[in-house]
């Protein structure tokens, strides 16, 4: 999910990871700005689907993402499947390899459905990792118990770029098959969510060789080898775009883009090294899947909310350090927001959690809000609190709940 120390959007392994998101027309960025590009004989998605316009049969989450009227805020949680659930821990004992759990169709489906069966969220996100597609375009990786993800051959030179190739979606069929099954399992009762990592965030792993707390190698590369870094980012943009379309064609109603480590950049650097590639992705995906909502989440995004809006996504995910009413004012009413209960509230007494959920919903207003945490579910979070979170969300009704608000409090 790419939060401060996530492993996947659905799990908590104790090492940093983030989501993956790529696009197919971004070679133009590297060519135009650097004159250097990665050769691309890309394999395009081999199936086409027609994406329909919004209808009354769309899941609640999709309607809210598009800004359509809804009766209550839809709710899901980043990392809503994972080690806080006893059923997940039991399965992980039987299948100790994270790669096996996240790259085997039956296990992906079982784990993805664990929170659905327990809590009935309005969104069911595929159990995967932002690094999952890397081997499909030439970047193998391992996961070590202590170090987490390890890339043995970081890409820091033109020679390293030669190892990249167009994304081979045949190597990701376990993702596609899992999404198809999830779509059938939840029917129209919830949205099926796919996810990816933004090019900058994925590039941090590829350049640094794994997780980092300083980002010194990739930040230095912006100045020492900018043409190499731009070529890498453009290749990622192209691959991730195709991967997004692949997920949509397999059944994902909505895609979340995690630029988890984008928040580690000064705003001006984010404008140069992350935003253009996300914009390219959005443009590419819009052409092929024009009605699929796209969500952008960046941890530590308070300083760049307006810049995030400029990427063209449908929904901005707010972390818990941003006041959601202030975020609404800064972003305007034409874009939806997601969030942003502090995950630590799930360790509080349930009445306190209820009050915070209600405060967030009031502050967000009755249109274009997806209730979520401002970060992923923390390890050792009580399952009772997660259940309560979703029960409170389902109990809300805008017509009655917001009647108690003063006009000054209501944000539309």
What are the CA-CA distances from residue 278 to residues 97, 106, 237, 241, 381 (Å)? 32, 32, 8, 10, 32
| E strand map for 91-179 | 123-125, 142-144, 148-150
Q: Does 63 have pLDDT greater than 90?
A: yes
- In DSSP terms, which residues pair with 143 in a beta bridge? 149
Measured between alpha carbons, how far is 203 from 123 in angstroms, rounded to an integer? 28
* pLDDT bracket for residue 176 (50, 70, 90): very high
Measured between alpha carbons, how far is 218 from 17 in angstroms, rounded to an integer? 16
Per-residue pLDDT tens digits for 197-230: 999 999 999 999 999 999 999 999 999 999 999 9
Measured between alpha carbons, how far is 283 from 382 in angstroms, rounded to an integer? 40
The larger pLDDT score, comparing residue 148 to residue 296, is at 296
Measured between alpha carbons, how far is 124 from 78 in angstroms, rounded to an integer? 10
| E strand map for 65-197 | 123-125, 142-144, 148-150, 191-197
Preceding amide of 138 cis, omega within 30: no
Measured between alpha carbons, how far is 302 from 300 in angstroms, rounded to an integer? 6
SS3 302: coil
Among 298, 288, 221, 296, residue whose Cα is nearest residue 264: 298
Per-residue pLDDT tens digits for 281-311: 999 999 999 999 999 999 999 999 999 999 9
Q: Does 330 have pLDDT greater than 70?
A: yes
Among 367, 373, 365, residue whose Cα is nearest residue 326: 365
Contact between residue 255 and residue 294 where contact means Cβ atoms under 8 Å apart: yes
pLDDT of residue 60: 98
Among 237, 238, 245, residue whose Cα is nearest residue 285: 245
Tell me the percentage of the chain whose pLDDT exceeds 90.
Answer: 82
Measured between alpha carbons, how far is 254 from 192 in angstroms, rounded to an integer? 7
pLDDT of residue 146: 79
SS3 386: helix
Per-residue pLDDT tens digits for 236-260: 999 999 999 999 999 999 999 999 9
Q: Does 86 have pLDDT greater than 80?
A: yes
Preceding amide of 295 cis, omega within 30: no
Encoded tokens for 153: 């051959």
pLDDT of residue 401: 86
Strand ranges across the sheet with 191-197: 123-125, 191-197, 254-258, 294-297, 315-317, 336-341, 369-373
Residue whose entry in the numeric block shows the structure tokens 């020679």 = 159
Mean pLDDT confidence for 81-87: 96
Encoded tokens for 83: 């080690």
- To 5 degrees, how large is the angle CA 280–CA 74–CA 410? 95
Encoded tokens for 4: 């401060």
Per-residue pLDDT tens digits for 362-412: 999 999 999 999 999 999 999 999 999 999 999 999 999 877 654 434 444
Encoded tokens for 168: 């081979």
Measured between alpha carbons, how far is 386 from 377 in angstroms, rounded to an integer? 9
Residue whose entry in the numeric block shows the structure tokens 């397999």 = 250
Encoded tokens for 370: 């997806």
DSSP 210: B
Per-residue pLDDT tens digits for 255-277: 999 999 999 999 999 999 999 99
* pLDDT bracket for residue 33 (50, 70, 90): very low
pLDDT of residue 9: 47
**pTM as predicted:** 0.87
Q: Does 352 have pLDDT greater than 90?
A: yes
CB atoms near residue 267 (< 10 Å): 11
Q: Does 14 have pLDDT greater than 80?
A: no
Lowest-pLDDT range of 11-25, 92-106, 398-412: 11-25
Encoded tokens for 35: 């004159």
* pLDDT bracket for residue 40 (50, 70, 90): very low
Mean pLDDT confidence for 126-153: 93
Among 346, 310, 351, 303, residue whose Cα is nearest residue 327: 303
Mean pLDDT confidence for 331-338: 96
Domains, the chain, ordered by start? 73-334 (3.20.20.210)
Contact between residue 12 and residue 79 where contact means Cβ atoms under 8 Å apart: yes
* pLDDT bracket for residue 55 (50, 70, 90): low
Among 115, 105, 49, residue whose Cα is nearest residue 81: 115
Residue whose entry in the numeric block shows the structure tokens 């006041």 = 323
* pLDDT bracket for residue 144 (50, 70, 90): confident
Could you tell me the sign of the dihedral formed by the alpha carbons of 223, 229, 231, 237, in that order? negative
């Amino acid at each position: 999910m790419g939060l401060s120390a996530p492993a996947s959007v659905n799990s908590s392994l104790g090492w940093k990871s983030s989501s993956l998101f790529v696009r197919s027309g971004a070679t133009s960025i590297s060519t135009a700005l650097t004159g250097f590009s990665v050769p691309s004989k890309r394999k395009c998605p081999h199936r086409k689907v027609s994406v329909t316009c919004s209808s009354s049969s769309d899941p609640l989450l999709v309607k809210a993402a598009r800004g359509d009227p809804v009766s209550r805020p839809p709710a899901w949680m980043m990392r809503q499947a994972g080690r806080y659930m006893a059923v997940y821990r039991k399965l992980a004992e039987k299948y100790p390899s994270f790669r096996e759990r996240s790259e085997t169709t039956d296990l992906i489906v079982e784990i993805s459905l664990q929170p659905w069966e327990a809590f009935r969220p309005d969104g069911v996100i595929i159990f995967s990792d932002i690094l999952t597609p890397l081997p499909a375009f030439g970047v193998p990786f391992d996961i070590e118990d202590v170090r987490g993800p390890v890339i043995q051959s970081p890409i820091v030179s033109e020679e390293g770029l030669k190892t990249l190739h167009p994304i081979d979606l045949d190597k990701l069929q376990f993702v596609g098959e899992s999404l198809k099954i999830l779509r059938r399992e939840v029917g129209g009762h919830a949205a099926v969510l796919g996810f990816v990592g933004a090019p900058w965030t994925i590039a941090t792993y590829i350049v640094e060789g794994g997780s980092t707390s300083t980002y010194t190698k990739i930040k230095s590369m912006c100045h020492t080898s900018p043409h190499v870094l731009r070529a890498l980012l453009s290749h990622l943009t192209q691959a991730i775009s195709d991967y997004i379309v692949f997920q949509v064609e397999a059944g994902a109603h909505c895609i979340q883009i995690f630029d988890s480590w984008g928040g580690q950049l000064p705003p001006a650097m984010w404008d140069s090294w992350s935003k253009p590639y996300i914009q390219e992705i959005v443009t590419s995906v819009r052409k092929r899947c024009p009605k699929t909502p796209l969500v952008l989440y960046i941890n530590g995004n308070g300083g760049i909310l307006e810049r995030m809006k400029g990427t063209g996504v449908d929904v901005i995910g707010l972390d818990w350090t941003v006041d959601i009413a202030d975020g609404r004012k800064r972003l305007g009413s034409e874009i939806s927001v997601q969030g942003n209960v502090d995950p630590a509230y799930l360790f509080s007494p349930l009445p306190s959690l209820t009050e915070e959920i209600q405060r967030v919903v009031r502050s967000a207003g009755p249109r274009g809000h997806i209730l979520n945490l401002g970060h992923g579910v923390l390890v050792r979070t009580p399952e009772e609190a997660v259940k309560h979170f979703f029960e409170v969300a389902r109990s809300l009704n805008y017509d009655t709940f917001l009647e108690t608000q003063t006009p000054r409090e209501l944000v539309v």
